[in-house]
Chain A
Amino acid sequence: MRVQQPAATGLDLERVDGRAKVLGLAPYAYEHPAENPTYLYPVQSTIARGRITAIDTAAAETMDGVVAVLTHLNAPRLADAADKELAVLQSDEVGFRGQFVAAVVADSPEAAREAAARVRVQYHQEPHHAALRADHEDLYKPEQINAGLETDTQAGDPDAALASAAVVVDRTYTTPAEHNNPMEPHTTVAQWEGDRLLVFDSTQAVHNARKTLAPLFDVEVEQIRVVAPHVGGGFGSKGLPHAHVVLTALAAKVTGGRPVKYALTRQQMFFLAGYRTPTIQRLQLGASPDGRISVLTHDVVEQTSAIKEFAEQTAGISRMMYSADHRRTTHRLASLDVPVPSWMRAPGECPGSFGLEVAMDELAEACGIDPIELRVRNEPAIDPETGKPFASRHLLACLREGARRFGWERRNAQPGTVLVDGWRTGIGVAASTYPARRQPANTARIRFTADGFYEVQIGAVDLGTGAWTALTQIAAEALECGPEQVRLQIGDTDLPVATVAGGSSGTASWGSAIIGAAQMFRKEHGGFPSAGDTSEGDGERNPAGKNYALHSFGAQFAEVQVHADTGEIRVSRMLGVYSAGRIINPRTARSQFLGGMTMGIGMALHEQSVMDERFGMIVNHDFADYHVPSNADIRQLEAFWLEEVDEHAGPLGARGIGEIGIVGAAAAVANAAYNATGIRVRDLPLTADKFLT
């Protein structure tokens, strides 16, 4: 595999989109000019399960400024209603509280909202289940889990191995539902011109969005254009189109060609834009007295919505992280009358690492071994799951480098022994990993312009991560020109096809296509091209990658203070060291790592979506009650990385950085809190009351 020689990549290049953003000129989905727009406001179900028996729209329809009131009785039919999350207003069924049951389109947002409040809906309510329990009676085994992984895996005889293990840790860990909550509310602006649909959307994948919409509206993908030059964060929730995108496009069918604008309110986002499932994870680790793990089982119970399956791959991390001759992972789903869970930053690895990495800390203590040494003793030579060699596995280097920088040697192995000014202080560690994915099906186009620039086109999306910048650098390096000679165009389905900004796969996938296009361009047009010279290239397949297990690794260190009298907990210091292949831009990369760690601190201390099972209602559905860390909650935070190029990870040698920062972060905090207090909290979030037992 050729590896591109670093030139423009690796440079600490200022953000390409920075100037537009500091000037307030970067248009997000709502800000694109729309002529004579209409505005949508939905009616949401007030029951968790049942049927609509009557719906009275008369009062709404006669209000000034109302263009249309859509219900399941009069909404245009979708050609494909199989996906019940997306089949909005297609039937009288209600599958969760907060689901769309009607929508008003009006000349102003105020009129739409007023009219929506006047729509009267009557229901036949049926009994519902909205709470996840380990002993839920109808747990089922999904056919596969997210990312197309196997639902269950087994090697050896785990039960026998547990029975004979000298040391056993057998614990259950839980993580709550969490909501992505990007700062930009999910927004769609849709307009039909004849049989062509134009959509400005806050999405992580313009091409995938139109691929999803096309069959619903019975049109070819080419008849739909999705545009998203700037997106205000997503963290997975904008990866797949949700119901509001379909609803807005559906409503735009009845406005006589006028555009329809709809931005979810923050409250609506808690029901309609995906979230991380709560998990109940039983971990069993059996080891010899010196900490060598012979058996590792990870059995997960989690929820999906009854209307659409989403199976988080929570135990996936336990398949490859440590050696163990006997292993088992399982995933069971409770199908509940709840909103549809979906991707949230590092689905699978993020919640799974909480169970696994706290269990590792418990095993270290049970064996009387330093937690880093325990991981050293269980470092696999090859991927335990596939038997393939790791393309690059520098977990131990991350742990050692982190330990050195963080001052691990000052850790007091005896928990609960450091008390300063009323604060119990401790430090903890957790390992981190995330698979390196590279999506095929990416194409880039390069055109030389009359004024001497390289126009580089690919339908990728920058959801804030820095794609504008990183792809500019990659193109410059591949074309052997300066970044200032590159004019990047992304965020539009008129540009060549590209995959999702998700799964930490974007830069590597799109970058491969850009490199392919650049090579093709030089081959076809040489070093001195003429105006208009154009070439296309695809992301080259990575056959060598098939022979290797491709994962990034990291080590998370946290220092935690817990007040002896009140249990108040704060993360006074956090440090991560990562091995993620080549870093394209240190500035955007560092920000991604730090942002992931911060979201991990939020997961550890704050974030929890509270379900009132009586009503199927997420009660803390706003920022007043769903707590994410504010600046004042975050203290010293540092991210470092190993300088490396993963020659098996494709022509860029990069493995992706968007998600690994959150993986293991909550476990590091929990382990530090244990070291501080001697109290082992196995249920997130780590609230103060849990430290006063």
Chain B
Amino acid sequence: MQIPAPFDYVRASDVDNALALLERHGPESRLVAGGHSLLPMMKLRLARPEWLIDINGLAELDFMVREGNVFRIGALTRHTTLLESPEVARLFPIVTDAEQVIADPVVRNRGTIGGSLCQADPAEDLSTVCDVLRAEAVIRGPAGERVVAMDEFHRGPYETAVGQNELMSELRFPIRPRSSSAYEKVERRVGDWAVAAAGAAVSLAADGTIEESSVGLTAVGLDGTVAGIGDLLGGRRPDEDLFAEAGRIAAAACEPVADQRGGIDYKRHLADELTRRVLRRACARASEEQEG
């Protein structure tokens, strides 16, 4: 039976209040939402914040809304909500794919998209998803609001662009015509972290050639999306040879480390194989979209 070291707790009443509390309590204060990363670390005494600022009550951060060609998802949106949203499934099937394999259903009832991204675990799935969808993170702080692209958002394992006195309030996903996406993960056991995973997003031109594409990888030591895949696929017709080539690029681009979940060669192999799979599926979905 392990419980956290002592801390003080306060519920934020709104975003401004949360920011004021962060400011007031300083560097040893942390925001908590679902708590499924932070609380276990606190129980194991790997994290010892002095103040927890609970933002679970901030309804203003719990929303999903389409505005023109942008889909906005509030940082407090729970995994289960994302998984069960038909609109998300239609616009961004990669999110639904990923949500099906993030932890387990009970954890998904509490965990939030903002929490997953801000925790920035290297084996975390939604970072890859946001990378390939070219999402932007909205960060609010004492100086107001700023919008950062994903490559700027990620700063490495367990580090993001969100400052100590800031809060990620939402994610913005561009909606592109004739586009789709997919995510695939290999795990040791149902509900486990990825051995490796891959996500892809593609947009097709009216003639069925690939207009834009991106591939990201999870848990294999690659920051951001795989360089060179967009250029390779651009203007080409989706086919197996092309996917295979993209897979080879992805395998070469990643830098996995060996651990209990797999060796370097195996993870590299998965980067290759899963890249092919997600491109294949994303292209198939995009062309259905086109026909439909």
Contacts and interface: CB of A to CB of B under 8 A. Distances in A.
| A–B contact via C-beta, under 8 angstroms | yes
Interface string A611-630: 00000000110001101111
A567 B260 CA distance: 16
A630 B260 contact: no
Contacts, number: 54
Given A606-B188, A630-B189, A632-B191, A688 B262 contact: yes
B189 A627 contact: yes
Interface in A588-620: 605-606, 608, 610, 619-620
B244 to A, nearest CB: 12
A54 interface: no
Contacts of B3: 109-110
B269 interface: yes
Contacts of A109: 1, 3
A649 interface: no
Given A109-B1, A113-B2, A265-B1, A687 B188 contact: yes
B190 A692 contact: no
B270 A566 contact: yes
A689 B196 CA distance: 12
Say whether chain B's binding surface is mostly helix, strand, loop, or mixed.
Answer: loop
Interface string A676-693: 000000000001110010
A184 interface: no
A265 B266 contact: no
B186 interface: yes
A395 B261 CA distance: 37
Contacts of B190: 630, 632-633
Contacts of A110: 3, 6
Contacts of A117: 45
A173 B50 CA distance: 51
A114 interface: yes
Contacts of B266: 567, 688-689, 692
A620 B262 contact: no
Say whether chain A's binding surface is mostly helix, strand, loop, or mixed.
Answer: loop
A263 B1 CA distance: 7
Contact of A625 (B104, B260, B274): B260
Contacts of B1: 109, 263, 265
Interface in A487-527: none
B257 to A, nearest CB: 14
A565 interface: yes
Interface residues of A, number: 30
Interface string B189-217: 11111010000000000000000000000
A76 B219 CA distance: 50
Chain A CB within 10 A, most for which of B45, B189, B191, B269 = B189
A687 B5 contact: no
B263 interface: yes
Contacts of A610: 260
Nearest to A630: B190
Interface string B237-277: 00000000000000000000000101101100110011000
Contacts of B193: 624
A568 interface: yes
A489 B132 CA distance: 63
A689 B262 contact: yes
A691 to B, nearest CB: 10
Contacts of B265: 689
A689 B263 contact: yes
Given A610-B260, A619-B260, A692-B269, A265 B188 contact: no
B42 to A, nearest CB: 13
B189 A566 contact: no
Contacts of B270: 566
Contacts of B195: 688
A631 to B, nearest CB: 8
Interface string A89-121: 000000000000000000001100110010000
A313 to B, nearest CB: 29
Nearest to B192: A627
Given A110-B3, A265-B2, A606 B260 contact: no
Interface string B176-193: 000000000010111111
A633 B2 contact: no
Contact of A606 (B189, B269, B273): B189
Contacts of A565: 273
Interface of B: 1-3, 5-6, 44-45, 104, 186, 188-193, 195, 260, 262-263, 265-266, 269-270, 273-274
5 contacts: A265-B2, A620-B260, A627-B192, A633-B190, A692-B266
Given A566-B270, A605-B189, A688-B186, 14 more contacts: A114-B5, A117-B45, A263-B1, A267-B44, A565-B273, A566-B269, A566-B273, A606-B188, A628-B189, A629-B189, A630-B190, A688-B262, A688-B266, A692-B269
Interface of A: 109-110, 113-114, 117, 263, 265, 267, 565-568, 605-606, 608, 610, 619-620, 624-625, 627-630, 632-633, 687-689, 692
Q: Closest 6 A-B residue pairs measured CB to CB?
A: A689-B266, A632-B190, A627-B189, A565-B273, A630-B190, A633-B190
